């Protein structure tokens, strides 16, 4: 900071970003709670219903590339305002859905586009912090975890009392107002308020050299690390979202109540907060790549554990592992990209990798639904997910920065 007595506006950026993430991504991750009520009302299969979520993830990934590039040029205020309009209107329209094409348009496309807040917000935080980048990124990502902690139980309660349609309408109005208001307080970088990034003057020489080695998107795409990261994110998205969407139906299939299933989803959200802030901050101390490897190994363990159990308390245990893994891995993404490619095109590069994540996340739930529909159980799906999760670990092990630009 240029003036140590002046309040650092980066803290405002982190707080606002936290709450936007909580509202938008917390609700988006609660799709599993709406899953069976919608199927019961509309009569669709699990694979077809999962497909709308997959479409939303594809839309989320594509818009992340666009929003990341726009955020690099214009800043987050307009980007977040647009996301609030799209996400809120999508949920309002969902309350009126009656046909499959409406479902895929309203949820898959409009809500998917509106949920593209992840890349712009974290890319903005990366510009505000040199030191404590992992910690502050973790706090922002913890917004989605906190949303996962509180939104599933609230959604389950509202659905049981008012139905899923009225619940969608209520959330749509809240998101529209909240996100648009919060967006007005966001700034692109410290220069806009006459400050410097936190820790910029005292950053270690090695870290400064890495950040000065700034890549354009085209330069980054010609490196081996770029495509290794791409594969890593596809596998990560497949593994996590396959479990995230199908864990609630799987739990109720083995005779456990829908209320317990919602609580287990909430445990994933609560544990992810710890993973994002406490475990995720390890990236500042041991490096972001080792921290990501630790999270990927924990994710693999969680998938294997879920496959082998049908006892309630063990579901809570492995939900804890899953949340810790998700929180930690998600926190490391933005700092890892800054470490590998610098900050010049950070938003655009981050958006592309976010799209890689959503490719895996879109494929995974549909594959799970198809394997269940054809076999009547999730065993083969869990085996496949465990194998792909191991690929995430191996891809990260071999990830290295490029010494010189191509």
For the chain, the C-alpha Rg in angstroms (whole number) is 20
DSSP state of 191: G
pLDDT-derived band at 211, boundaries 50, 70, 90: very low
> Any bridge partners for residue 129, and if so which?
198
CA angle (77, 26, 314) in 5-degree steps? 155
Q: What global pTM score does this model have?
A: 0.71
Higher pLDDT, 265 or 225: 225
Among residues 388, 397, 340, the alpha carbon closest in space to that of 241 is found at 388
CA angle (87, 21, 193) in 5-degree steps? 105
Q: What is the pLDDT of residues 77-115, one digit of tens each?
A: 989 999 999 999 999 999 998 888 999 999 989 998 988
pLDDT at 203: 47
Name every residue whose Cβ is closer than 8 Å to that of residue 179 and which is 6 or more positions away in sequence.
20, 23, 24, 80, 81, 83, 84, 87, 88, 117
Please state the φ and ψ torsions of residue 198, each to the nearest 5 degrees.
-60, 125
Q: Are 149 and 216 in contact (CB under 8 A)?
A: no
Name every residue whose Cβ is closer than 8 Å to that of residue 256 and which is 6 or more positions away in sequence.
312, 315
- Report, as an integer, the average pLDDT of 165-189: 91
CATH of domain 10-189+207-397: 1.20.1250.20
> What is the residue-wise DSSP string for 287-356?
-HHHHHHHHHHHHHHHHHHHHT---HHHHHHHHHHHHHHHHHHHHHHHHHHHHHH-STTHHHHHHHHHHH
- Report, as an integer, the average pLDDT of 269-295: 80
Higher pLDDT, 277 or 205: 277
Q: How far is CA 338 from CA 30, 290, 354, 370, in A?
A: 30, 15, 14, 38
């Amino acid at each position: 900071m240029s003036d140590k007595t002046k309040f650092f506006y980066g803290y405002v950026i982190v707080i606002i970003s936290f709450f936007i993430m909580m509202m938008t991504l917390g609700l988006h991750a609660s799709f599993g709670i709406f899953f069976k009520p919608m199927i019961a009302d509309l009569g669709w299969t699990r694979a077809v219903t999962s497909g709308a979520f997959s479409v939303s993830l594809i839309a989320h990934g594509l818009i992340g590339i666009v929003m990341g590039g726009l955020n690099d040029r214009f800043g987050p205020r307009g980007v977040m305002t647009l996301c609030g309009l799209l996400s809120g209107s999508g949920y309002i329209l969902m309350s009126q859905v009656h046909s499959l094409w409406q479902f895929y348009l309203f949820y898959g496309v409009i809500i998917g586009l509106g949920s593209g807040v992840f890349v712009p917000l974290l890319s903005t935080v990366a510009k505000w912090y040199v030191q404590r980048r992992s910690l502050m990124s973790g706090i922002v990502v913890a917004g989605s975890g906190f949303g996962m902690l509180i939104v599933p139980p609230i959604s389950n309660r509202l659905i049981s009392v008012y139905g899923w349609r009225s619940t969608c309408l209520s959330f749509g109005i809240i998101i529209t107002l909240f996100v648009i208001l919060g967006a007005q307080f966001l700034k692109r970088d410290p220069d806009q308020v006459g400050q410097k990034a936190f820790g910029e003057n005292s950053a270690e020489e090695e870290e400064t050299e890495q950040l000065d080695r700034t890549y354009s998107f085209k330069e980054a795409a010609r490196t081996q690390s770029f495509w290794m990261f791409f594969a890593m994110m596809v596998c990560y998205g497949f593994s996590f979202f396959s479990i995230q969407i199908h864990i609630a139906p799987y739990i109720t299939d083995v005779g456990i109540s829908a209320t317990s299933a919602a609580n287990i989803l909430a445990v994933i959200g609560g544990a992810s907060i710890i993973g994002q802030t406490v475990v995720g901050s390890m990236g500042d101390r041991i490096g972001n790549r080792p921290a990501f490897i630790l999270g990927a190994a924990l994710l693999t363990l969680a998938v294997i554990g879920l496959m082998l159990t049908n006892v309630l308390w063990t579901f809570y245990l492995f939900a804890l592992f899953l949340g810790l893994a998700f929180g930690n891995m998600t926190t490391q993404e933005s700092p890892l990209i800054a470490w590998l490619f610098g900050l010049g095109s950070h938003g655009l590069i981050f958006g592309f990798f976010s799209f890689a994540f959503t490719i895996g996340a879109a494929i995974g739930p549909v594959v799970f639904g198809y394997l269940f529909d054809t076999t009547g159980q999730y065993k083969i799906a869990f085996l496949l997910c465990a194998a792909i999760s191991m690929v995430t670990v191996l891809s990260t092990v071999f990830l290295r920065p490029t010494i010189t630009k191509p």
